Amino acid sequence: MKTYLTAATAAIAGLSIAGSAAATEWNVSVWGKRRAFTEHVEKLAELVSEKTDGAFTMNISYGGLSKNKENLDGISIGAFEMAQFCAGYHRDKNPSITVLELPFLGVANLEEEVAVSHAVYAHPAVQKDLARWNAKLLMTSPMPQYNIVGTGEPRDELAEFKDMRVRATGGIGKAFSAVGAVPTSVTATEAYNAMESGVVDTVAFAQHAHLSFGTINKADWWTANLNPGTVNCPVVVNTDAYDALSDEERAALDSSIDEAIAHYLANYGELLTKWDSVLEEKGVQKVEISDDQLAEFRKVAADPIREQWIADMTAQGLPAQELYDLVQKTLADVRAGS
C-alpha cells in the first residue's frame, strides 16, 4: 500500500521536504510468535527499510491479518502484500511445491534445503502454479528434518507406530500412515492443545516449533534420528504489489533475500547446537531408531509415496518427474560444490 508523507506531517516529525513523498508500506502475515522460523522475514524488513532510508517498510503481523491456513488466499485477493505459508496446509492449492515435502528426499542440512527449495521455486511450472493465487515465490523458510515428541513409553520400533495418533502434515503424514499411524493435520498453533487433551499421542515438528509451540514441555521422549522429511514453507508476495514497487524498492527487496536467508541459517544453527541441553533441562529422553528400522521405514514410505506423487501430479498436468529429478540434481550439484 502507498502512503504519503505531507509537508505538514513531515514538519511535525522534524523533516524538511518539498511537497509530498510517496512511501511504501507492506503488511506481512505470519503466525505464532517471533521465532527462528520467522527470523528471515524480520531481517528482510530491517534490510529493506535500511536500504530505502525508511521509505519502504513492512509491518509484520503474527496472526492479526489471517489464519495461517488462509494466508495464500489473502495474498490472492491482495488483503496483504507478503505472507508465509506451508505447502502441507493446502496441498491442492500448491501441488507443485509438495515435491519438497516428499518423505526421505535425502536433504541433509538447512543449506541443502534452501538450495532445493529455491531451485524448485524457479521452475516455470511452479511459478505458473503459484501465479493462480497472484503469488510470487520470494524465499523459503528452511527447516531441518522433522522428528516427533511423544508421551508415555518411547516408541523406537515401527510396530509401535501402529495406531499412534500423530500431528503430521504433507508427505510426513503420508509416511506415518504407511506404517499404520494415524496422522492429523492440526495447525502448529493447535498442536500443544491437541497433545495436552490427548487428541494426539505425538507431534512431528522441527526443533524450533517444539520450543515455540510448547510441545516439548509435554514430551517424555524425542526421536533424534527418525528424519522422515520436512515441511516446505515459502514466503510469497502479492504479484501486483511487487510489480507496483519502484525500481529502487524492488532492488532493495531482491538484494536482501540472500542476506536474510544467511541470517536465518546462522540463527537456526545456534538453536540446533543447544538442542541437547534443552532436552536435558526438560527431562526429555532422546530415542535413537535403529538402522534396520529406519531402512524398513524408507522401504515402506519413500518409494511408494514418491511414485504415487509422480503419477498423481503428472495426471494433473505437472512435470512431476522433472521436478523430482530437479531436487536430486540440485542436491548432487550442491554436494559437488557447483
Whether residue 98 lies inside any domain: the answer is no
From the list 257, 227, 253, 230, the residue with the least C-alpha distance to 241 is 253
The verdict on pTM exceeding 0.75 is yes
Residue-level pLDDT at 9: 37
Q: What is the mean pLDDT of the chain?
A: 92
Residue 58, beta-bridge partner list: 26
Same domain, 266 and 308: no
Same domain, 299 and 252: no
| Confidence band for 1, pLDDT divided at 50, 70 and 90 | low
Residue-level pLDDT at 21: 57
Q: Is the pLDDT of residue 18 over 50?
A: no
Same domain, 53 and 136: yes
* Tens of pLDDT, residues 69-103: 999 999 999 999 999 999 989 999 999 999 999 99
Same domain, 188 and 215: yes
* Tens of pLDDT, residues 295-323: 999 999 999 999 999 999 999 999 999 99
- What b/e sequence results for 105-122 when a residue is b if at least 16 CB atoms lie within 10 Å of its CB, and e otherwise? bebeebebbbbbbbbbbe
CA distance 302 to 290: 17
Whether residue 59 lies inside any domain: the answer is yes
Same domain, 177 and 151: yes
Task: Give the domain range for residue 291.
Answer: 147-229+276-336
Amino acid at position 201, single letter? D
- What b/e sequence results for 253-289 when a residue is b if at least 16 CB atoms lie within 10 Å of its CB, and e otherwise? beebbeebbebbbebbeebeeebeeebeebebeebeb
* Tens of pLDDT, residues 226-268: 999 999 999 999 999 999 999 999 999 999 999 999 999 999 9
From the list 267, 199, 252, the residue with the least C-alpha distance to 36 is 267
Q: For residue 308, how many other CB atoms are within 10 A of its CB?
A: 11
* Total tally of structural domains belonging to the chain: 2
- What are the Cα distances from residue 90, in Å, to 49, 170, 328? 32, 9, 24
